[in-house]
Amino acid sequence: MVSEQLFDVLVIGAGPTGMACAIACQRQGFRVVLVDKGCLTNSLFHYPANMTFFTTPELLEIGDMPFSSPNQKPTRAEALEYYRKVSEHYKLDIRQYERVDRVSGSDGDFRVHTVDRFEREHVHRAQKLIVATGYYDLPNYLGLPGEDLPKVMHYYDEPHPYFAQDVLVIGGKNSAAIAALDLWRHGARVTLVHRGAELHRHIKYWIKPDIENRIKNGEVAAYFHTTVSDITEDTVTLETPEGEKVLPNQFVFALTGYHPDFDFIESLGVNLDAENARCPICDPATLESNAKGIYLAGVIVAGERTNEIFIENGRFHGDLIAKDIAAKVPVTA
């Protein structure tokens, strides 16, 4: 179904950054629509159920709306509540559960082709596009034999199903450390495997001593300088500095990071900088990409360096973009 309405701005991705962009554009007087393949703040919804953010609440705020929390660091549930309230307050027009498949047309009249949950096709029209699609949809697969078994997961949710089970956690950063601790605290037998010599130096200062002490006490088994070479229904095989080790295993969490959908970005005509972490080419002052009329926002601006842009700094991208669009498009709303 082709929409008759020509929006001024269409934002792909209704995460915190996409929402901040939509608010900034609405404030300039533009008619804006957001499209997300999942629910509002879909990535946050899929974060571990009991997670706590690393950031204090005021750094997660968008649209100048206060985020109050009794906690020094807010929980996932509080953040979901907050972003819902922001969306209601600004009356954001969000088309949830529509995945953007491709874009046709050009600056001034883009056609955004989406597919909904029932495989029905829709087309939205907009003068300008903002791409804020994040990085959480595509895990960094390890390419291991057995990685496709249903017991292997790339997202950690909650600990209860793993009580009294042998669980392997692969990774050496925050997500792996947090999952290993949560699993151990809820009765799983946890083994942590990391290819590096030690846990990553970016692990948050309040998490590091906790995981290090669990390892020192033998409560979480840990193998460093170690990789996984095989996963079967009942075992995992580790390549350790002392040789091969086969461990009993019922579940594996491969928490080795995620990456932006580079194919999608390129399909829009946006070039990637092969010399610089595949950063999409864009003007840092306006965030307009080499594809005229298409802007980039949030974590995708840093390409493969997914640990450079977070909610705390990506939330300001909307203002840069809205200012540039305002200089180019007459307000119609």
Ligand X SMILES: Cc1cc2nc3c(=O)[nH]c(=O)nc-3n(C[C@H](O)[C@H](O)[C@H](O)COP(=O)(O)OP(=O)(O)OC[C@H]3O[C@@H](n4cnc5c(N)ncnc54)[C@H](O)[C@@H]3O)c2cc1C
Rg (CA), the chain: 22
Subset of 265-324 contacting ligand X (CB under 6 A): 298-299, 310-312, 314
Element (H, E) at 221: strand 221-223
**Least CB distance to ligand X at residue 138 (A):** 9
Residue 236 makes contact with ligand X by CB under 6 A: no
Q: Cα torsion for 131, 136, 140, 141, to the nearest 10°?
A: -120
Contact flag: residue 256 with ligand X (CB under 6 A) = no
Query: By C-alpha distance, which of 7, 107, 111, 5 is closest to 331?
Result: 7
* 92 lines the binding site for ligand X (CB under 6 A): no
Least separation in angstroms between residue 162's CB and ligand X is 18
Decide: 168 and 228 in contact? Cβ < 8 Å.
Answer: yes
Looking at 36, 61, 78, 166, which residue binds ligand X (CB under 6 A)?
36
Pick from 27, 65, 99, 230: which binds ligand X (CB under 6 A)? Answer: 99
Contact indicator for 223, 240 with CB cutoff of 8 Å: yes
Q: How many residues bind ligand X (CB under 6 A)?
A: 33
Residue of 7, 9, 11, 18 interacting with ligand X (CB under 6 A): 18
> Treating both helix axes as pointing N-terminal to C-terminal, what angle do 16-27 and 76-89 enclose, rounded to 10 degrees?
20
d(CA 178, CA 160): 15
Q: Least distance (Å) from ligand X to the CB of residue 300?
A: 7
Q: How far is the CB of 253 from ligand X (least distance, A)?
A: 13
Distance between first and last Cα of the chain: 23
Q: Are 130 and 18 in contact (CB under 8 A)?
A: yes
Closer CB to ligand X, 162 or 223, in the complex? 162
Is residue 134 at the binding interface for ligand X, with CB under 6 A as the rule?
yes
Residue reference for tokens 């307000």: 331
37 binds ligand X (CB under 6 A): yes
175 binds ligand X (CB under 6 A): yes
CB of 297 to ligand X, least distance (A): 7
24 binds ligand X (CB under 6 A): no
- In terms of phi and psi (left: phi > 0; alpha: psi -120 to 50; beta: otherwise), the region of 226 is beta
| Integer Cα distance of 44 and 180 in angstroms | 20
- Stretch of 2-10, 50-58, 82-90, 212-220 lying at the interface with ligand X (CB under 6 A): 50-58
The only residue of 9, 10, 11, 17 in contact with ligand X, by rule CB under 6 A: 17
Contacting positions for ligand X (CB under 6 A): 12-18, 35-38, 42-43, 47, 51, 53-55, 99-100, 132-134, 136-137, 175, 264, 298-299, 310-312, 314
